[in-house]
Amino acid sequence: MPKQSSGAELTIVADENIPLLNEFFAGFGSIRKLPGRSMTPADVADADVLLVRSVTEVNEHLLAGSSVKFVATATSGTDHIDTQWLEDNQIGFASAAGCNADAVVDYVFTALNALSDGQGLNIEGKVFGIVGYGQVGSRLYTRLQQLDIKCLVCDPFKETPDQVSIDELVEGADIISLHTPLTQSGEEPTWHLLDGERLSRLKEGSVLINAGRGEVVDNVALIRRLQSDSPITAVLDVWENEPALSTELLELVALGTPHIAGYSVDGKVRGTEMIYQAMCQWLNTPADISLDTIAPVPALQTLSAAGENIAEITAASIRLLYDIRRDDHCLRALAKTAGDDTSALVKGFDQLRRHYPKRREFNTLTVQVPETANALERELAGIGFSIESGK
């Protein structure tokens, strides 16, 4: 199929969990909405365009013989897409790079606040290791710099500040946050980047956060480390074999969530807008629709920071936007109810994600701080809130 003008009727098959599908894509033709995890070759055989999220494996098996000529994923990760096969078969492709990066950084800070029992981040004097300096890792670094936290960064594909090797980072950091893609081949593959050997070298009492992809950490080896007599603290948003995660591992982690680190409303709708823009570019047609016109997501009202306890104000501001303990509680409750019934666990995991509450990004909340409260202002701005000073 040659590139079409916007007037042509296209058949679009899309994951039903992509928000604002009608608003952005109805003008191109018909939209068939389907559950992403169970899409079959028959579902997409007559489609021109396929729009997915991370739970659809897009490869030769799904697409061979179909009429699909453009694929887009409304996600940052692309490990579910065989991009080489798409390229070899002249099928256009786009992702929503960075759409939810701020939400993931918010998740990391929220987790740290929860680990300190809602007493602020409690990271002063700690060394923070960031693995992967892309959209998420670099934004996390920027916020940590504003908070004056020493960082070690590992990204073999980028020139980064504070660059170290993965082994130096593993041995030197008190908190490690993983933000690499999942890669199985090529240079520096990330599959089991944290294997049993590296996990055994993490400092006793260190914190490991994985909001990247489950398979970057050897989950069986992580269970062993968490059960050892020099345990670490683990926060996992992503799991090996998702959605059939190990409930044994869930019991051992300090916080466990169902792959929702990037699930801010802002990030999700941004993802849809980005793939709409990419499709317009592919069709060589102007992108006339924007979030601002069809579904503006307004900034939140302001919060007035009263009192002097920085940790308390920080914790209250974070909790106002995102209660990570709720996500952790829901996943544990699901695991308990499901017991040994893996299909109930799998179904429940997807339900938690499908019915995820509306969560806003930190930068949508403006916090008013008194003119003299410089330390408070620095802390809140570093964490990512918008600040109105002198109130």
Ligand X SMILES: O=C(O)[C@H](O)[C@H](O)COP(=O)(O)O
Ligand Y SMILES: NC(=O)c1ccc[n+]([C@@H]2O[C@H](COP(=O)([O-])OP(=O)(O)OC[C@H]3O[C@@H](n4cnc5c(N)ncnc54)[C@H](O)[C@@H]3O)[C@@H](O)[C@H]2O)c1
Active-site amino acid positions:
213, 242, 259
User: With binding defined as CB under 6 A, does residue 373 bind ligand Y?
Assistant: no
Q: How far is Cα 177 from Cα 200, in angstroms, rounded to an integer?
A: 16
User: With binding defined as CB under 6 A, does residue 136 bind ligand Y?
Assistant: yes
Q: Residue number with the shortest CB distance to ligand Y?
A: 134
**Region near ligand Y per CB under 6 A, out of 133-141, 194-202, 270-278, 348-356:** 133-141
The C-alpha angle with vertex 335 and arms to 121 and 200, in degrees rounded to 5, equals: 55
Q: How far is Cα 99 from Cα 22, in angstroms, rounded to an integer?
A: 19
Binding-site string for ligand Y from residue 193 to residue 212, where x marks contact by CB under 6 A and - marks none: x-----------------xx
55, interface contact from ligand Y, ligand X, none, CB < 5-8 Å by kind = ligand X
At residue 330, what is the residue type? C
- Phi and psi at residue 6, to the nearest 5°: -65, -15
At residue 364, what is the residue type? T
365, interface contact from ligand X, ligand Y, none, CB < 5-8 Å by kind = none
**Region near ligand Y per CB under 6 A, out of 35-43, 127-135, 270-278, 316-324:** 127-135
Residue numbers at the binding site for ligand X (CB under 6 A): 17, 53-55, 75-77, 100, 262-263
For residue 208, give the nearest of 249, 253, 175, 245 by alpha carbon: 175
The backbone region for 372, taken as left when phi is positive above 0, alpha when psi lies in -120 to 50, beta otherwise, is alpha
- The HSE-up count of residue 154 (CA atoms within 13 Å, CB side) is 23
User: With binding defined as CB under 6 A, does residue 156 bind ligand Y?
Assistant: yes
**Region near ligand Y per CB under 6 A, out of 20-28, 98-106, 276-284, 340-348:** 98-106
- Nearest approach, Cβ of residue 134 and ligand X (Å): 11
User: With binding defined as CB under 6 A, does residue 268 bind ligand Y?
Assistant: no
Q: How far is CA 252 from CA 111, 247, 257, 332, in A?
A: 16, 9, 13, 11
135, interface contact from ligand Y, ligand X, none, CB < 5-8 Å by kind = ligand Y
Instruction: Name residue 151's beta-bridge partners.
Output: 128
- Nearest approach, Cβ of residue 11 and ligand Y (Å): 29
Among 213, 225, 359, 360, interactor with ligand Y by CB under 6 A: 213
Residue with tokens 């058949």: 11
For residue 81, give the nearest of 39, 108, 52, 102 by alpha carbon: 52
User: With binding defined as CB under 6 A, does residue 31 bind ligand Y?
Assistant: no
User: With binding defined as CB under 6 A, does residue 318 bind ligand Y?
Assistant: no
Among 179, 192, 198, 270, interactor with ligand Y by CB under 6 A: 179
For residue 239, give the nearest of 213, 209, 261 by alpha carbon: 213
Instruction: Name residue 94's beta-bridge partners.
Output: 72
Which residues are annotated binding-site positions for NAD(+)?
A: 135-136, 155, 180, 237, 262
5 Cβ contact partners less than 8 Å away, ≥ 6 residues apart:
283, 284, 285
**Region near ligand Y per CB under 6 A, out of 183-191, 315-323, 332-340, 381-389:** 183-191
Binding footprint of ligand Y on the chain (CB under 6 A): 76-77, 97-98, 100-101, 104, 131-137, 154-158, 179-183, 188, 190, 193, 211-213, 237-238, 259, 261-262
